Amino acid sequence: MYALFVEVDADESHTEQARKAIPETVVPQVRAAGAKDGYWLAPQNGRGLSVVVFDDEAAARGVAAQFKVGEPVGAVEGVTVRTVEVREVLAHL
């Protein structure tokens, strides 16, 4: 398994917008791209995080390629990509 880790600069005033947009827009998109599980954490101190798990590295890297550091994330206003990483999952619960 592989995880896509995305860290964003997030304007906390848009958290309510994210509560709607992520489940309605983002989750179906990453599920269609092969995601098996995912977590989007509310921003704190201007920093948001997500971890999305895929069965294979190619699927994770395919989704990762859609993000560009320093560019906005389209689903929620006031969110800009800070880091994008794909890592092997060593264990899970």
pLDDT at 78: 87
Per-residue DSSP letter, 73: P
Express each pLDDT in 39-81 by its tens digit. 999 999 999 999 999 999 999 999 999 999 999 988 788 899 9
Quote the longest CA-to-CA distance of the chain: 35
Express each pLDDT in 1-36 by its tens digit. 999 999 999 988 889 999 999 999 999 999 999 999
- Tell me how many degrees the CA angle 76-67-57 measures, rounded to the nearest 5: 125
pTM of the predicted model as reported, rounded to 2 decimal places: 0.92
Produce one character per residue of 47-85: b if its CB has 16 or more CB atoms within 10 Å, e if not: ebbbbbbbeeeebbeebbeeeeeeeebebbebbebbebe
d(CA 44, CA 28): 25
Beta bridge partners of 9: 47, 80
